[in-house]
Amino acid sequence: MAPFVVLVAVTLAARAMGAWGLEYTATWPGALAIGLAAMFVVTGLAHFGTTRRAGLIAIVPPSLPAPAHVVTVTGVLELAGAACLLVPPAVGPLRVLGAWALASLLVAMFPANVYASRARRSPHAPHTPLRLRAPLQALFVLAALTVALAT
């Protein structure tokens, strides 16, 4: 639930700054890009903290080899995608590419959320019930696609 709170709070704050004259966040897609970047920084950094990392490793489906490496790679991808979202569209296509990549990453990581919802595999693992997690994941994908398509 924390990623959702970060997304909403930072998006609204960014949009307010846009209303006060900050051109980059003068549109909802621009503000949403900032909100998504903040959300992915929070979630990406969780891949490297020892306690939260152990929980994330625990929810990597057993069909994937080297769960610790999977968690490291996905954390790096989340942070790289967040950085791309912060690049102004006038500079180049990085914001659009980052948004598409993050939407794809969210879809690719969804099986781990399904796996996590079936049992509490670690006291530090995400454990949002699937009936709540699936709509949240869909919202995050929709937000990333909104940024990708509106830029």
pLDDT digits 0-9 by tens, 104-150: 999 999 988 888 887 666 667 777 788 888 999 999 999 999 999 99
Quickly count helices (H) and strands (E) in the chain.
6, 0
Residue 118 has a pLDDT of: 78
When pLDDT is averaged across residues 15-42 and rounded to a whole number, the result is 92
**Rounded to an integer, what distance in angstroms lies between the CA atom of residue 43 and that of residue 124?**
14
pLDDT digits 0-9 by tens, 63-96: 999 999 999 999 999 999 999 999 988 888 999 9
As a whole number of Å, the end-to-end CA separation of the chain is 27
Per-residue pLDDT at 28 exceeds 90: yes
Identify residue 79 by its one-letter amino acid code: L
Question: What are the extents of the domains in the chain?
Answer: 2-150
